Structure 1
Amino acid sequence: MATEPIEVPIEGDTVRRDSIARTEKGRMERLWPVIACGAGLFSDGYLNNIIGPVSKMLSIIYPDAYANSSAQANVSSITFAGTVFGMLFFGYTSDHFSRKWSLFASTIIILLFATLGTASYGAGGSPNGLISALVAYRFFLGIGIGGEYPAGSVACAEGTGELKEGSRNKWFILFTNVQIDLAFFLSAIVATVVVIATGENHLRAAWRICLGIGIIPPLSLLYLRIKLQEPEAFKRESMAQAKTPWSLVIKFYWQRLAIVSIIWFIYDFSAYSFGLYATDILSSLFDDEAPLRTSLAWNILINFFYMPGCLAGAFVADMKSMGPKKTLFIGVMLQGVIGFIMAGCYPQLSKPGNVAGFAVVYGIFLALGEFGPGDNIGLIASKTCATGIRGQYYGIAAAMGKIGAFSGSWALTAIQEAAGDDKIARGRNPFFVASALAFLAGGLVLLLPHIGQDTIDMEDIKFREYLSSHGYDTSKMGLGSVRDIESEENVAVETKEDARA
């Protein structure tokens, strides 16, 4: 790292943890903010993954205006562009204004543009107008989704600091990445059920129903988010009322942030691009006459494999012998191995009669991605920096991930098109690229610091000490009301000590 960690007196750590412990809250009072803050990522998973089947439906309905134009790539990937903007914007507001209200604003944006996207319509009913409207609405939808990361996930991580030691990583993962993966799985089921229910002659209704269901998750969280309070860590370490010393922040964190960002870029490059095109990949294994519902049904099996991977990773990340860093390393290296095996065996796996084998091996590839980087990269991003700049740090790292997802959706198309009419190369080449990147990510993981149960607390202490050693006045950090309370407590302690003397 750019700066060596500063040794901190034990007393400082004790004071910091005691201040959190003094908050009189029951177990559920401490847990439900974690749920309310993190569970919004379900919307990210659903609204991003459902566009894969929806895009396939639109290509069937509008073969000229959609399938044979740039519209297909635009609809699938424009959300990522909005998400990048949202991550950076809400990363700033969540640090400099409020975690709670940044999160609430992002929820409103998701609700509004998920609704508008469902009702997309072109002037005079023109297909081009409809598709243009959908592209525009999904860009703004992405802005709302982007706010879920630096406001929601960061507040979720800070909330876990109030939970029982030994379970903090698990709860963070269960209400962040597991929510995304659960949404991936359920969106595959929704798409299949809707197509079967409406029939393949009514895909115009089916794609709107699929998108419309995505309105429900953010709507269900509105009340919980209104009732939220700012996390205790944010109240004590916020720089909302202090000037941010950018030169010191960059000097202290730039190398660590660069490593986390590159790993996230690589993970999303594979995870989202493969997720978006899973329906197309499966369709290539069937005859042209095979109904859409067949590939959608197999897509359920593939998305199911996200679940055991992310759930296993959540519990392994809390094991004393493992932790987030080791879990990430093992997951990403094994994923690279499986990817190369898939590429080598693709000529056999790609035969229509072996579709079950393809789905299982491909599912294991996806599961390992969730076990390692899927579960742990957000956890590491939220716990390797101080609370005062956590929203911006996390927002930049997550934005790099979404740039990876955006790049991956375009790159996968380019890789497949470069193969021409060679169906084997179209399916195999993306796995060569993804696996090589997985090994690169594994090497970068070794450069990350150890992540323990108290890393958030210790990082705040180290950062405060670093700022103080460079002449920065840390007395203005934290929200005013909390500073006043702590000042009164310190005066009371000093008075008692004087009386004893």
Structure 2
Amino acid sequence: MATSWVGIGIGGEYPAGSVSCAESSGELKEGTRNRWFILFTNSMIDWGFVIGAFVPYAAAAAAHNTHYSTIWRTSLGIGTVFPLILFVLRLKLKEPEEFNKNSMKHARTPYWLVLKYYGWRLATVSLIWFIYDFSAYSFGIYSSTILANIYGESAPLTTVFGWNTMINIFYIPGTMFGAFVSDWLGPRYTLALGVTLQAVVGFVMAGAYAKLSQPEVVGGFAVVYGIFLTLGELGPGNNIGLLAAKTCATGIRGQYYGVAAAVGKIGAFVGTWVFPYIQAAGGDSTTSAQYPFYVSSSLCALSGALALLCLPHVGQDTIALEDARFRAYLEAEGWDTRQLGLRKAEGGRGGVDVESADPEPVVAVEGAVEKKE
């Protein structure tokens, strides 16, 4: 029941908040737009992973590894503080200008036209997100199990949560530094770079696991495993949401992003469900820990290839350009684009009142329309 409420609350808000963040980033200084989107979306999740592991550690330490009910109730109670703060801040948030001009709030969404134009792209983004969550969430949930093979199942809670906190800290350099890389290289190339390097590290970990799994080198294992995770954040962790938010037009961005995010969460479910079977297929303790890294690394290579071959380049002005292209496509298909926008037009139709709106000079951009700066 608790998980259901979390899914309705955070799961329902995160896609809406992310697309709003993407649209707002278009109003920021060129050359910084990708980093600010990442810092306010995926980076916040990664800081949540760190805090989510540290709070139970602190509670367990305060309870001297006893009174388990007190530990989990305290941890859960502290976890409610951040959503309440977010709720208050969300009430004061205004819609960005791009949404005001291109929303389909007052129009019936032409789903068939949307699927023809964005179907392949949406399928690619969704598959990459599925692959990423398949690995990231399953590894995150079972990291304590992997570590237990090294420090033993009888370790106290402070040891378990302490090592998990340290490993989760490796998410932070990946997402923070990667936010800037996404502006320098673009999200598509950054994603491909991250997953390629992650695949290399994953294969190395799998091959050297017999040595890394020795109790006396648990610190070394944690560092190498942490590098594996940080590369995941530099690549798809930071950029899959960015690609989902900026590879489609504003009018359908919320639904497009929501579908991709939902497919990603299906990947998380599938990953956590099949992860024990992947481990069991290995047989002994060493091989059972190697198999997940082989599977995950292979999937990393696949997602990198998908990003490079099947997704478009996402630049600093992609949102405005994508809106112009999609508007031109709809007009070519005979769909009345005067329905777009939040303001009501005369005659009862949705969209911007074209008679009262100030005309803006335009220039042709790759078969579409772009506002002249």
Do they superpose with TM above 0.5?
yes
Residues 339 and 352 in structure 2, CA contact (< 8 A), matched pair in contact too: no
Match of 1:429 among 245, 270, 291: 291
Paired residues of 1:318 and 1:324 also in contact (CA < 8 A): yes
Structure 2: distance between partners of 1:209 and 1:313: 33
Corresponding residue of 1:312: 177
C-alpha deviation, 1:492, in angstroms: 11
Q: Note closer, same or farther for the CA distance 1:201–1:377 as it changes in structure 2 (3 Å cut).
A: same
Which range is displaced more, 202-211 or 334-343? Answer: 202-211
Q: 1:249 aligns with which of 101, 108, 114?
A: 114
- Please, which of 201, 204, 225 is the counterpart of residue 362 of structure 1? 225
Number of the residue aligned with 2:186: 323
Which one of the candidate residues 279, 287, 293 is aligned to 1:416? Answer: 279
Percentage of matched positions with identical amino acids? 56
Q: Which residue of 125, 128, 144 corresponds with 1:260?
A: 125
Out of 179, 182, 193, the residue aligned to residue 47 of structure 2 is: 182
Higher alpha-carbon deviation: 207-216 or 333-342: 207-216
State how far apart, in whole Å, the 2-side matches of 1:423 and 1:357 are. 19
The 2-side partners of 1:491 and 1:170 are apart by 33
Alpha-carbon distance between aligned partners in 1 of 2:74 and 2:314, rounded to the nearest angstrom = 42
Report 1:114-263 matches (<5 A). 136-263=1-128
Distance in 2 of aligned mates of 1:176 and 1:367: 16
Structure with the higher helix share, 1 or 2 = 1
User: 2:149 matched to 1:284?
Assistant: yes
Matched, 1:349 2:349: no
* Deviation for aligned residue 1:491: 7.2
Distance 1:428 1:158, change over 3 A: same
User: What value does the CA root-mean-square deviation take over the aligned residues?
Assistant: 1.6
Where does residue 311 of structure 2 map in the other structure? 448
1:302 aligned to 2:167?
Answer: yes
Q: What residue in structure 1 maps to residue 369 of structure 2?
A: none
Give the Cα separation in 1 of the matches to 2:11 and 2:355. Answer: 37
**Given residue 298 of structure 2, which amino acid in structure 1 is its aligned partner?**
A
Q: Distance in 2 between matches of 1:340 and 1:491?
A: 58
Give, as a single letter, the amino acid of the residue that structure 2 aligns with 1:154. Answer: V
**Equivalent AA in structure 2 for residue 170 of structure 1:** R
Cα distance in 2 between the residues matched to 1:274 and 1:491: 54
Which amino acid is 2:147 matched to? Answer: L
C-alpha distance in 2, partners of 1:223/1:287? 44
In 2, the alpha carbon distance for the partners of 1:145 and 1:138 equals 10
Aligned counterpart, 1:374: 237
* Aligned position for 2:251: 388
Task: State the 1:151 CA deviation.
Answer: 0.8
**Is the 2:26–2:33 contact (alpha carbons within 8 Å) kept by the matching residues of 1?**
yes
Secondary structure at 1:480's aligned position in 2?
A: coil
Residues 188, 314 of structure 2: 8 Å contact kept: yes
Give the aligned partner of residue 370 of structure 2.
Answer: none
Distance 1:454 1:448 in 2: 16
Q: 1:149 touches 1:398 (CA, 8 Å); kept in 2?
A: no
3-state SS of paired residue (2:253): helix
In structure 1, distance between residues paired with 2:359 and 2:130: 49
Structure 1, 425-434 or 283-292: larger mean CA deviation: 283-292
- The C-alpha deviation readout for 1:27-67, integer Å capped at 9, x for no partner, is xxxxxxxxxxxxxxxxxxxxxxxxxxxxxxxxxxxxxxxxx
**1:399-414 → structure 2 map (5 Å cutoff):** 399-414=262-277
Q: Check the 8 A contact 1:279/1:295 in 2, yes or no.
A: yes
TM-score by length of 2: 0.92
Aligned length: 355
Q: Does the C-alpha gap of structure 1 residues 480 and 449 become closer, same or farther in structure 2, counting only changes over 3 Å?
A: same
Check 1:491–1:255 CA distance in 2 against 1; reply closer, same or farther (3 A cut). Answer: closer
Q: Retained in 1: the 8 A contact 2:106–2:339?
A: yes
The AA in structure 1 aligned to 2:254 is G
Deviations 1:94-150 (A, max 9, x none): xxxxxxxxxxxxxxxxxxxxxxxxxxxxxxxxxxxxxxxxxx221232122221232
Counterparts of 2:263 and 2:249, CA distance in 1: 20
